[in-house]
Amino acid sequence: MRIAIIGAGLAGLSAACHLARSGHQITVYEASDAPGGRAGTVGGDYIIDNGPTVLTMVELVEEAVSAAGSRLSDLVELIRVDPAYRAFFSDGRTHDGEGSIAVYADTEAMRDEIKLLAGEKEADAYLRFVAHLARLYEVEFPNFIDRNFNSPLSVLRPPGSFYSLLRLRGFSRLDKVVSSYFKDDRLRRIFSFQALYAGLSPLKALGIYAVIAYMDSVKGVWFPRGGMNQVPRAMEAAAAAAGVRFEYGARVERLVTSGGMIRGIELSARRFVDADVVIATPDRPLFDQAALPNRRIPARLRYAEYSPSAFLMLLGTKESSPPAFAHHNIFFGKPWKESFEALLDRRELMRDPSVLVSLPTITDPTLAPEGKGIVYALEPVPNLAGKVDWLNERGQVRAAMLDRLQKWGVLSDPSAIATETTIDPLDWLDRGMALGTPFSVSHRFFQSGPFRAANQDPRYSNLLWAGSSTVPGVGIPMVLTSGKLAAQRILEAGGRS
Ligand SMILES: Cc1cc2nc3c(=O)[nH]c(=O)nc-3n(C[C@H](O)[C@H](O)[C@H](O)COP(=O)(O)OP(=O)(O)OC[C@H]3O[C@@H](n4cnc5c(N)ncnc54)[C@H](O)[C@@H]3O)c2cc1C
User: What CATH number has the domain bearing residue 424?
Assistant: 3.30.519
Instruction: Quote the pLDDT of residue 497.
Output: 37
pLDDT at 435 over 80: yes
The residue out of 162, 178, 213 marking a domain boundary is 213
Q: Is residue 96 part of a domain?
A: no
Average pLDDT over residues 400-405: 97
> Where residue 25 falls among pLDDT bands split at 50, 70, 90?
very high
Average pLDDT over residues 29-37: 98
Same domain, 335 and 293: no
Residue 10: give its domain's CATH number. 3.50.50.60
Name the residue type at position 449.
G
Question: Is the CB of 193 within 6 Å of ligand 1?
Answer: no
Residues 365, 313 share a domain: yes
pLDDT at 150: 81
Whether the CB of 10 sits within 6 Å of ligand 1: yes
pLDDT at position 495, please? Answer: 52
Domain count, the chain: 3
The answer on 425 and 367 residing in a single domain is: yes
Average pLDDT, the chain: 94
Q: Is residue 17 part of a domain?
A: yes
* Strand bridging mode 277-280 / 78-81: unpaired
**Best of 281, 430, 474 for a ligand 1 pocket test (most atoms within 8 Å of beta carbon):** 281
- Report H helices in 253-330: 286-291, 299-302
Structural domain includes residue 314: yes
69-96 tens-digit pLDDT: 999 999 999 999 999 999 999 876 676 7
- Integer angstrom CA distances of residue 335 from 171, 181, 331, 414, 455: 26, 22, 12, 27, 38
Q: What is the pLDDT of residue 93?
A: 67
What is the structure's pLDDT at 92? 65
Examine the domain organization and report whether 339 and 371 are in the same domain: yes
Q: Is 60 exceeded by the pLDDT of residue 368?
A: yes
Say whether both 317 and 424 belong to one domain.
yes
Is residue 174 domain-shared with residue 154, that is, in the same domain? yes
Are 331 and 281 within one domain?
no
Q: Is residue 65 part of a domain?
A: no
Ligand 1 atom closest to Cα of 433? 30
Instruction: Using DSSP bridges, classify how beta strands 309-317 and 373-381 pair: parallel, antiparallel or unpaired.
Output: antiparallel
DSSP 330: E
Domain match, 297 and 367 both: no
Q: Is the pLDDT of residue 392 over 90?
A: yes
Round to whole Å and give the CA distance between 49 and 312: 11
From CA 378, how far away is CA 422, in angstroms rounded? 10
Average pLDDT over residues 324-333: 96
Is residue 437 in a domain? no
Co-location of 236 and 257 in the same domain? yes
Please tell me the total number of residues recorded for the chain in this structure.
497
Q: What is the mean pLDDT of residues 107-135?
A: 97
**Alpha-carbon dihedral of residues 488, 492, 494, 497, nearest 10 degrees?**
70
pLDDT tens digits for 249-278?
999 999 999 999 999 999 988 899 999 999
Q: Are the C-beta atoms of 477 and 137 separated by less than 8 Å?
A: no
Residue 31 beta carbon below 6 angstroms from any ligand 1 atom: yes
Give Cα separations from 105 to 53, 101, 216, 218, 450 (angstroms).
17, 13, 8, 4, 31
For residue 438, tell me if it sits in a domain.
no
Q: Which residue has the higher pLDDT, 369 or 153?
A: 369
Residues 327 and 423 occupy one common structural domain: yes
Cβ(418)–Cβ(411) below 8 Å: no
67 inside domain: no
Cβ pair 387, 355 in contact under 8 A? no
Looking from the CA of residue 56, the nearest atom of ligand 1 is: 11
Protein residue with least CA distance to atom 18, ligand 1: 475
11 lines ligand 1 (CB under 6 A): yes
Q: Side chain identity at 400, as an amino acid letter?
A: A
Angle between the N-to-C axes of helices 476-494 and 58-67, in degrees from 0 to 180, rounded to the nearest 10: 30
63 domain-assigned: no
Domain boundary among 387, 404, 430: 430
Beta bridge partners of 86: 102, 329
The residues, ordered by sequence, that sit 6+ positions from 421 with a Cβ below 8 Å of its Cβ are 42, 48, 50, 312, 313, 314
Among 430, 455, 479, the domain-final residue is: 430
Q: Is the pLDDT of residue 97 over 80?
A: no
Q: Please answer whether residues 177 and 85 qualify as being in contact, where contact means their C-beta atoms are separated by less than 8 angstroms.
A: no
- pLDDT recorded at residue 293: 93
Task: Judge whether residue 199 has pLDDT over 80.
Answer: yes
Mean pLDDT of 114-135: 97
Q: Once rounded to an integer, what is the mean pLDDT over residues 207-235?
A: 96
Q: Are residues 295 and 318 in the same domain?
A: no
Q: Which domain holds residue 150?
A: 107-213
Ligand 1 center–CA 466 separation, angstroms: 11
Same domain for 375 and 411, yes or no, is: yes
- Cis upstream peptide for 472 (omega within 30°): yes
